[in-house]
Amino acid sequence: MPMPAEEISRLIGDALPGAQVVIRDLAGDGDHYAAEVVAPQFSGLPRVKQHKLVYDALGGRVGGVLHALQLTTRAPN
């Protein structure tokens, strides 16, 4: 069963309070998403650590219930 975009956004927002999360369904199938996450927790972190925070927020769902996630992260300006 595909993972709803709203659930992805909620999980990320719960783990990263104050984050701005934009989710796009890339293929219209509920399995291939793009996420843009802007979070204060990313300040000073390299991109790989930013991505790890997002993957941790999703609790191991990437590659399982959530088939594919294209991820863009940054700290707020």
pLDDT band at 28 (very low <50, low <70, confident <90, very high): confident
How does the average pLDDT of the chain come out, rounded?
94
Rounded to an integer, the average pLDDT of 43-53 is 98
Task: Pick the closest to residue 23 from 77, 68, 76, 75 (CA basis).
Answer: 68
pLDDT band at 22 (very low <50, low <70, confident <90, very high): very high
User: What pTM did the predictor assign?
Assistant: 0.92
Looking at the chain, how many residues does it have? 77
pLDDT band at 55 (very low <50, low <70, confident <90, very high): very high
Domain boundaries, the chain: 5-74
Within 1-77, where are the H helices? 5-15, 47-57
In CATH, what number does 5-74 get? 3.30.300.90
